[in-house]
Structure 1
Amino acid sequence: MPSHNGTAQIDHLIVSKYGLFIVETKNIKGWIFGDERAVQWTQSLYGKKFRFQNPLRQTYRQKKVLSEFLNIDERLIKTVVYFSGDCSLRTPLPSNVMNSGLGRYIKSFRVLELDSNDEQYIIQSIQAYVSTTTLTTRDHVNSLKHRHNSTLYCPRCSSALVKRVAQSG
């Protein structure tokens, strides 16, 4: 999905009268250690440690892009991180990060957020985009590399970086 500073790839999108649910799926085994605010989380598997991007940060960006794309209020969009592999979440994490109970979590929302017209608008907008887009996974990966390796633009807001010289040290 295009945005003003690259692309965002959404694994699953559930459209419901209770809101839109972005589901970021991670197929990871082992022990998972993370913190809501950390840039990276850690997977521990057979005594080896591997780092991966904080999926909550991914879903934050996806939420912004989807809200902008559909021109809807961000509060209508809920994010979920679901670990589908044989893993154990070893640190306290928000309730929207889980390795079981995805359906139960989504069904726990009871406040009606969207009427049937809103649901149809969202579904048709997404279907129209998906059927006409030529964006590929390769394009998305290249966009990520450009956004995160650029020394000219801020990876968060796309503003031009300003060179500054420290007063001391």
Structure 2
Amino acid sequence: MVELMGMLFGIYIIVFGMLILKSYLDFNNSDYQLASNHTFWQTFFNKGNMGEYNIYRTLEKIKGTKLILTNLYIPKEDGSTTEIDLVMITKFGFFVVESKNYSGWIFGDEKYRNWTQTFPNKKKFKFFNPIWQNKGHVKALKEVLNITDETLMQSYIVFSNNCELKKITVTSPNVSVIKRNQMRNRVKRDLRNLAPKITSEDIKFYFQILKPFMHVDDKIKQLHIESIQEKLGQFKN
């Protein structure tokens, strides 16, 4: 029995090592580290970073002229910041992504402030409508880029593959609420249905405007966290 357990443990170590190696090689073939400043280990062992990386990698593999940014801290009119997980700039406009690494069953309606996360043990948790959340991101993005054309913005709420979107109601034509494994096909579909609106030079121009908002210092990040915690406190009350 001891020998069998030892053999099984050895097989597990080998398989795990192969998975790590495969992930490491794929990571090195991506520009994610350059865009995010997250190393492989900071990404692989952090659920939030890993979810973001998987989305980035999906977008990265889609053909066509594009530039992708991550973790943008965009200033708002009230002096605070809003954090955008990912933005892909294409000739067809901006794909603004809010990543949600949630499990369980997800229920939500675009017109309601609160959505619900439910687990098999019947525990339920409320969370702020991510469509509204990303709408705020889009608003801040439009302001900093001086863009007024709403049709240039596509809002993507991307949930983890570990959840089940049970009942989601979306009414806006430029909003998608999907799981990560649905993203590639949804983006490709939208790219086929949209008409080109900006040039390759425009893409570079907008990228250069947004680039300074990526690798912000710890002070800005801390102020952003404190602002979120304050809003969560108001939300719970």
Equivalent runs, 1:85-164 vs 2, <5 Å? 85-94=161-170, 96-99=176-179, 100-109=181-190, 110-131=194-215, 133-134=216-217, 136-145=220-229
> Which of 73, 77, 87 in structure 2 is aligned with 1:4?
77
> Which of 106, 123, 148 in structure 2 is aligned with 1:48?
123
In 1, Cα distance between the equivalents of 2:101 and 2:230? 25
Quick check: 1:67 aligned with 2:142? yes
Segments of 4+ in structure 1 off by > 4 A? 145-150
CA deviation after TM superposition for structure 1 residue 113, in Å = 1.9
CA deviation after TM superposition for structure 1 residue 7, in Å = 1.4
RMSD value, Cα: 2.0
User: Looking at both structures, which has the greater relative contact order when contacts are Cα pairs under 8 Å and sequence separation is at least 6?
Assistant: 1
CA deviation after TM superposition for structure 1 residue 149, in Å = 6.7
Q: Which residue is 2:38 aligned to?
A: none
* Structure 2 residue runs without a partner (length 5+): 1-73
- Structure 2 vs 1, CA of residues 17 and 141 (structure 1 numbering), >3 Å: closer, same or farther? same
Equivalent runs, 1:11-26 vs 2, <5 Å? 11-26=85-100
In 2, Cα distance between the equivalents of 1:85 and 1:50? 19
CA deviation after TM superposition for structure 1 residue 128, in Å = 2.8
Q: Which residue is 1:80 aligned to?
A: 156
Residues 18 and 114 of structure 1 are in contact (CA less than 8 Å); yes or no, is this contact kept in structure 2?
yes
Residues 7 and 144 of structure 1 are in contact (CA less than 8 Å); yes or no, is this contact kept in structure 2?
no
TM-score after normalising by structure 2: 0.58
State the number of aligned residues: 149
Which residue type is aligned with residue 152 of structure 2? L
Identical pairs, percent: 32
Q: Which residue is 2:55 aligned to?
A: none
State the secondary structure of the residue aligned to 1:108: helix
Give CA-to-partner distance per residue, 1:15-70, whole Å, 9 cap, x none: 11111011101000110011111111000013210111110000110000000011
In 1, Cα distance between the equivalents of 2:178 and 2:213? 30
State the secondary structure of the residue aligned to 1:24: strand
In 2, Cα distance between the equivalents of 1:4 and 1:62? 12
- Structure 2 vs 1, CA of residues 147 and 32 (structure 1 numbering), >3 Å: closer, same or farther? closer
TM-score after normalising by structure 1: 0.79
Q: Which has the higher helix share?
A: 2
CA deviation after TM superposition for structure 1 residue 111, in Å = 1.1
CA deviation after TM superposition for structure 1 residue 142, in Å = 2.1
